[in-house]
């Protein structure tokens, strides 16, 4: 009898042990919270817990820590919980699925998609609220954005926090030394690539074939924006009927084919990840590469001493067209099921201040999406960012906004065909037809 | 002391229950949950799930990339089975029969890739294949075959064959050890008898070694097939991400793309069900094809 009891005890202990192991696996380590008393109302009424989810990537987390610290100081009765890190989107996924999301979310990085979150109706409708916000100097927030929020059928679900943009980079030091001209349109770009190919013996252009959207967003989007403005760009992103077989688009894709045929695109590009292609660029194995503003920050450890970053907004258009940039924005949003919506709104409003836009440029090397921030006199802001800022404000370059990012459902088949075109396995006409077919399939499913 | 029946069962329960619990939670539950989710239109990121019956399966049948992924997977299965089995058997025989003095050293060297993570192997071979800096192309140039150089992983024709080499390289060691174990269990006297009867090395291999280590060969083949169908994903994801233009897309990498990058978790689950069915069918067919009478001398 005793032995039997013992046996039972053993099995119970074993099962418990197994359970403990399982529970141990699932505990999360990403969150940290700063203290504040849980109960009691403060004078401005903000109390309880505010949970903020933010992805930490190329921009780091120094800016976030600062803003949150200041916000905490202003609201001592609020407990702020931070969920942060490079994998936070995956870590928080189960919380979103189980309708238990954080209050505020910064949407950036792999595994996070603004479009998808809106399709899953996870974000709060901010349309009316955002119109009521005013900055310290009295200007409405809506008038202070460089680029206004994404527009989903007239509704606003997120506020663009980070202003990033794609373009083509070159080695300014090399160009100055060898006297290469910086291209301003397709003709001058082809001439420049011809000269570089002959003089340097390299394939002048590289990009990552593993992530073909670098070429799509970095070279093609600005080109489409230059020749057709917002209307054409948005029609292409939405996959509207006939957009991808538009003669202006066919012309640009034909130019890509010309680049390929002339041997200007690095033959190995399809095998390269973004960092590999960027490394080749830094080693002067290629002269041009399309990446966003984060390139200097991302490669900071590997930049050779005599290397100087130069940035071209767009160069695939005709001389008569204006150069364009198509901003790529990283938004801040509030969860529809936020448990503390008042604090969430207060935090979002708090973050959009000019002084934080200033520190953002200093700490991340990128811009916050706010107008009228003086970067020029700030010694801590990198020079390429000042150049870009000047360019955006100069009026030589038009800022063309897309209504919203392209859906991955459409971008993936498009990217596949793009790689074929750039490898010379498909001509421009076939590409446009393939893109049109993919667009129709995408819209039929929507 | 004689154990009562009850005590015996309790002991068995004690041994089996923890494993069973873990097995149910980590294998059985995901299996059925995957099957369940394949009937839904679900993004995998929200709480909204819509039941669409066989909708995902219909889409699967009309997806032009699916046949490609199946073909790519079976291409890897066939080339890996042939490559690994030939080389592993050769090495196993050489290291056991040919009285090589440094046999233990070679055993360690050949087994070495098996203790490395596939992720490391993928990254390593990415460098080897690098069009500009990789030793593959520089080696070809060094021996005067400069015209053979190409961006291996960036070429639509060569990227898939290029994945075979690292996969075979990574697989040889384990199966070599398995076969060596088999061969060393064959009684020496059988080989001596065969030699006295005038059988040469080749005949000894085909008439003695192969039939006697057949169970090990069969297990090895099945193991390679299963791990390739389920695990080719890792090397593809690391080295090519299915590109260029789906030239190396396998079922697993396509599942990942659909479920986690394009946010169609339900469709991803459907691809998972397809992998399960294909793996089961392949293993059943192979069980039948590789069936041989057990040989004993």
- Is pLDDT at A57 greater than 90 in this prediction? no
- What topology is assigned to A165-327+401-445 in CATH? D-Maltodextrin-Binding Protein; domain 2 (3.40.190)
Cβ neighbours of B13 in A, within 8 Å: 11
From the list B17, B22, B262, the residue facing A409 with the nearest CB is B262
pLDDT tens-digit profile of A226-252? 999 999 999 999 999 999 999 999 999
Give the best residue of A4, A271, A405 to mutate against chain B (max B CB count within 10 A).
Answer: A271
What dihedral angle (degrees, nearest 10) is formed by the CA atoms of B100, B105, B110, B111?
A: 130
Cβ neighbours of B23 in A, within 8 Å: none
Q: How far apart are CA A205 and CA A282, in angstroms?
A: 12
Percentage of chain B modeled with pLDDT above 70: 99
CB atoms within 10 A of CB A120: 20
| CA of A138 vs chain B CAs: smallest distance (Å) | 38
Cβ neighbours of A99 in B, within 8 Å: 47
CATH of domain A31-164+329-391: 3.40.190.10
DSSP class per residue in B66-120: HHHHHHHHHHHHHHHHHHHHHHHHHHHHHHHHS--TTHHHHHHHHHGGGGS-HHH
Please state the separation of Cα B93 from the chain's center in Å.
Answer: 22
Span A35-52, average pLDDT: 64
Span A44-58, average pLDDT: 87
| A14 to B18: CB separation less than 8 angstroms, yes or no | yes
Predicted complex ipTM: 0.84
At residue A34, the pLDDT reads 47
Q: Hey, where are the domains in chain A?
A: 31-164+329-391, 165-327+401-445
Interface size A-B, in CB pairs within 8 Å, comes to: 126
Q: Do domains A31-164+329-391 and A165-327+401-445 have the same CATH topology?
A: yes
Per-residue pLDDT of chain B (297 residues; tens, 9 = 90+): 667 888 999 999 999 999 999 999 999 999 999 999 999 999 888 888 899 999 999 999 999 999 999 999 999 999 999 999 999 999 999 888 887 888 888 888 888 888 888 899 999 999 999 888 889 999 999 998 888 888 899 999 999 999 999 999 998 999 999 999 999 888 889 888 988 998 888 888 888 888 999 999 999 999 999 999 988 999 999 999 998 999 999 999 999 999 988 889 999 999 999 999 999 999 999 999 988 877 777
| CA of B124 vs chain A CAs: smallest distance (Å) | 14
Q: How far apart are CA B208 and CA B48, in angstroms?
A: 62
CB B55 within 8 A of CB B41: yes
CB B190 within 8 A of CB B208: yes
What's the CATH architecture for B87-289?
Orthogonal Bundle (1.10)
SS3 at position A313: coil
Question: Quick one: closest CA in B to A445, which residue?
Answer: B59
Q: Hey, where are the domains in chain B?
A: 87-289
């Amino acid at each position: 009898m005793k032995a039997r009891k013992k046996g039972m005890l053993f099995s119970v202990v074993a099962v418990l042990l197994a359970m403990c192991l399982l529970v141990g696996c699932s505990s999360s380590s990403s969150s940290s919270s700063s203290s504040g008393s849980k109960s009691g109302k403060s004078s401005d009424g903000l109390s309880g817990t505010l949970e903020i989810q933010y992805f930490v990537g190329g921009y780091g987390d120094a800016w976030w820590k600062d803003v949150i610290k200041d916000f905490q100081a202003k609201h001592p009765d609020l407990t702020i919980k931070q969920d942060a890190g490079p994998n936070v989107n995956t870590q928080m996924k189960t919380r979103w699925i189980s309708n238990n999301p954080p209050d505020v979310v910064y949407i950036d990085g792999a595994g996070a998609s603004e479009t998808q979150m809106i399709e899953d109706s996870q974000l709060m409708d901010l349309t009316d609220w955002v119109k009521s916000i005013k900055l310290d100097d009295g200007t409405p927030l809506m008038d202070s954005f460089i680029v206004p929020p994404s527009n989903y059928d007239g509704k606003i679900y997120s506020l663009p926090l980070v202003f990033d943009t794609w373009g083509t980079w070159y080695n300014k030091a090399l160009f100055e030394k060898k006297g290469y001209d910086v291209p301003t349109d397709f003709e001058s770009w082809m001439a420049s690539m011809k000269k570089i190919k002959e003089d340097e013996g390299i394939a002048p252009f590289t990009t990552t074939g593993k992530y073909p959207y670098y070429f799509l967003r970095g070279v093609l989007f600005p080109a489409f924006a230059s020749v057709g403005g917002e209307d054409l760009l948005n029609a292409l992103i939405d996959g509207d009927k006939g957009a991808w077989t538009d003669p202006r688009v066919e012309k640009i894709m034909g130019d890509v084919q010309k680049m390929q045929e002339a041997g200007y695109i690095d033959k190995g590009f399809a095998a390269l990840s973004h960092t590999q292609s960027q490394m080749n660029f830094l080693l002067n194995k290629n002269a041009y590469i399309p990446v966003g503003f984060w390139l200097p920050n991302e490669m900071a450890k590997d930049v050779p001493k005599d290397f100087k970053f130069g940035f071209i907004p767009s160069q695939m258009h005709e001389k008569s067209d204006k150069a364009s940039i198509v901003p790529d924005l990283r938004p801040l949003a509030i969860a529809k099921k936020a448990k503390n919506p008042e604090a969430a709104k207060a935090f979002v409003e708090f973050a959009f201040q000019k002084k934080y836009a200033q520190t953002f440029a200093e700490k991340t090397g990128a811009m916050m999406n706010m107008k009228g921030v003086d970067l020029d006199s700030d010694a801590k802001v990198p020079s390429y960012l000042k150049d870009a800022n000047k360019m955006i404000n100069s009026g030589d370059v038009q800022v063309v906004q897309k209504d919203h990012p392209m859906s991955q459902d459409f971008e993936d088949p498009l990217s596949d065909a793009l790689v074929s075109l750039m490898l010379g396995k498909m001509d421009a006409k076939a590409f446009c037809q393939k893109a049109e077919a993919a667009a129709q399939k995408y819209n039929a499913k929507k | 002391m004689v154990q009562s029946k009850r005590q015996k069962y309790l002991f068995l329960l004690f041994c089996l229950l923890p494993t069973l619990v873990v097995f149910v939670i980590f294998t059985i539950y995901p299996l059925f949950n995957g099957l369940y989710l394949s009937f839904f239109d679900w993004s995998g990121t929200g709480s909204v799930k819509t039941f669409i019956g066989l909708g995902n399966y219909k889409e699967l049948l009309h997806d032009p990339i699916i046949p490609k992924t199946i073909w790519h997977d079976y291409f890897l299965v066939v080339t890996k089975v042939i490559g690994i089995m030939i080389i592993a058997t050769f090495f196993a025989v050489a290291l056991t029969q040919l009285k090589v003095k440094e046999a233990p050293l070679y055993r360690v060297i050949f087994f070495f890739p098996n203790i490395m993570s596939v992720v490391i192997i993928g990254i390593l071979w990415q460098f080897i294949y690098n069009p500009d800096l990789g030793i593959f192309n520089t080696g070809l140039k060094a021996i005067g075959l400069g015209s053979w150089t190409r961006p291996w992983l960036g070429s639509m024709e060569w990227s898939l064959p290029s994945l075979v080499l690292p996969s075979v390289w990574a697989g040889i060691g384990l199966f070599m050890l398995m076969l060596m174990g088999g061969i060393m269990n064959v009684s020496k006297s059988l080989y001596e008898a065969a030699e006295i009867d005038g059988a040469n090395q080749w005949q000894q291999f085909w008439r003695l070694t192969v039939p006697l280590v057949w169970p090990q060969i069969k297990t090895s083949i099945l193991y390679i097939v299963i791990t390739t169908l389920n695990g080719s994903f890792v090397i593809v994801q690391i080295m090519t991400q299915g590109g260029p233009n789906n030239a190396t897309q396998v079922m697993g990498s396509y599942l990942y793309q659909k479920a986690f990058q394009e946010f169609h978790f339900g469709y991803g689950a459907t691809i998972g069900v397809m992998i399960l069915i294909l793996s089961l069918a392949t293993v059943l067919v192979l069980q039948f094809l590789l069936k041989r009478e057990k040989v004993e001398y």
